[in-house]
Amino acid sequence: MIRINPQDEFKALERVQECASNELLWPEALKQIERSCNCLCFLIELTSGGVHTERFCSSEAAAELLHYLRTSRVDGGQDTQSFLLQEAPVHYPFCKIAMTGLDPMTVDDGVAFENRGLREWPGLIMPLTRDEQHVVLFCCMWPSVQASIIRPEAVMPTFVRLGKATASSLQSNSELKRQAEQNSALLAFASAQRQASCLVDSDLSIRFKTPHFEQVLREGDIFVCDGTKLLPLRRDLETALVGLLEPPAEHSSVSKSSIDTDETALAMQSLLLLKKNESFCQVMLRRVPPGNRRTVQVNLTGEDPCSFVLIEVKEPTAVPAEIKNILQGAYSLSISEARLAYDLSACGVLSETLERLAITRNTAKTHLRRIYEKTGTQSQLELSRLIHSLAGML
């Protein structure tokens, strides 16, 4: 007969509660449950389609139990796994053998009793959480005790308390991660208050925007707002946004340092765009990192906690007048060509540049053709990028 004393149960509950603030502690918590209850303990997360996520244990460690769930049947012929994923009430404890209608003392399928293994072990199983994407199952089994002599009422109360405590820790951990992500996103947004900035979530719903960004929306050059959603009007901008919001690829055999490098490279995009009034603007897209290091470590198991992107729209910064001398010396531009290249990049609007320099559009076209040839650029956009990069060295 299995009996669990209150002191051992308290130790297990204490370990489970510690996991609420750190998901990396689950392996030790499960070992403590096994020591306290003299059992084998499993915490398994499956997708709604029945795929094991390996969030709490490896597929190898859970292989025999998963095989049993997929091949055993409940009343009505449904496999046990599908029943637990779709229909079984959350927080309701099921007796493993009673649920599948298997009586180890009377079953006769040609398999010797001593060779049945996990299939014959008495145990309890409970769905802890269920949402549209995942279901978490909690299971305890007693391989050293025959099913014919174990008394479920002796272990059921402890199992229920441990299951509910585990579900509570999972919910608390999920809420802490969500709050950490939001806090990180808010801090990023606060640092960009002086810019035309906007914070969007994974659905491109606008969470916050500055008054300067509202002006960007009114201009309708780069973004527009459809209710609460932000809609990019440029294909390259849409592609960059989708790339930042897509979950990272699987990192099965990649080292952690290379993962960090890849994530950093994919966390920011910068685009220089020509607006309708022929002026330039820079659009910075930055994926907001998780709020703490523990969340990053959990993310390596396959769950992507990042769900926000910070968007900043910046007008061209002032270009130093010394750029004209650099253009003349480094690219052999004439004085008139250097003035046109400088003014056009500083202003961004061709019509205003023509008026300021008092030259015709045809003259400007002639100068620009020579400027493009000498600088190796092919458009006003490439020329502006070159000049702003040179300005960064001053």
In this prediction, residue 317 carries a pLDDT of 61
- pLDDT value at residue 160: 93
Are 23 and 149 within one domain?
A: yes
The pLDDT, as a whole number, for residue 85 is: 93
Specify whether 28 is located in the same domain as 140.
yes
Identify the residue whose tokens are 């308290």.
10
Residue among 38, 163, 150 nearest 89 (CA): 163
Alpha-helix residue ranges (DSSP H) falling in 197-276: 211-219, 235-245, 256-265
Sign of CA dihedral 172, 178, 184, 186: negative
Total number of domains in the chain:
3
Whether residues 156 and 30 fall in one domain: yes
128 and 29 within one domain: yes
CB neighbours of residue 313 within 10 Å: 23
CA–CA dist 135, 55 (Å, integer): 12
Residues 353 and 275 in one domain: no
Residue 265: per-residue pLDDT: 43
- Cα–Cα distance, 263 to 243 (Å, whole number): 12
Looking at 147, 173, 199, the residue that finishes a domain is: 173
- Choosing from 259, 281, 314, the residue where a domain stops is 314
Shared-domain flag, residues 342 and 249: no
For residue 158, tell me if it sits in a domain. yes
What single letter denotes the amino acid at residue 178?
R
Dihedral, CA of residue 22, residue 173, residue 90 and residue 81, to nearest 10: -60
- What would the 3-class secondary structure string for 362-392 be? HHHHHHHHHHHHHHCCCCHHHHHHHHHHHHC
The CATH number linked to 345 is 1.10.10
**What local confidence, expressed as pLDDT, does residue 149 receive?**
58
Domain that holds residue 301: 191-314
Shared-domain flag, residues 349 and 250: no
181 found inside a domain: no
Q: Cα–Cα distance between 329 and 25 in angstroms, integer?
A: 63
Domain termination residue (choose one: 146, 173, 200)? 173
Backbone CA torsion sign across 183, 246, 268, 234: negative
The predicted pLDDT at position 212 comes to 86
Residue 294 lies in a domain: yes
pLDDT in tens, the chain (394 residues): 567 788 999 999 999 999 998 889 999 999 999 999 888 999 999 998 999 999 999 989 999 999 999 988 888 788 999 999 999 999 999 988 777 665 544 444 444 444 557 877 888 999 999 988 999 999 998 887 665 556 667 788 999 999 999 999 999 988 887 777 767 666 666 666 667 888 888 889 998 888 889 988 998 989 999 988 999 999 989 988 888 887 555 444 444 444 444 444 457 888 878 777 767 778 889 888 655 433 333 333 344 445 788 898 887 666 778 888 989 999 999 999 999 998 887 776 778 788 888 999 999 999 999 999 999 999 887 888 888 778 765 5
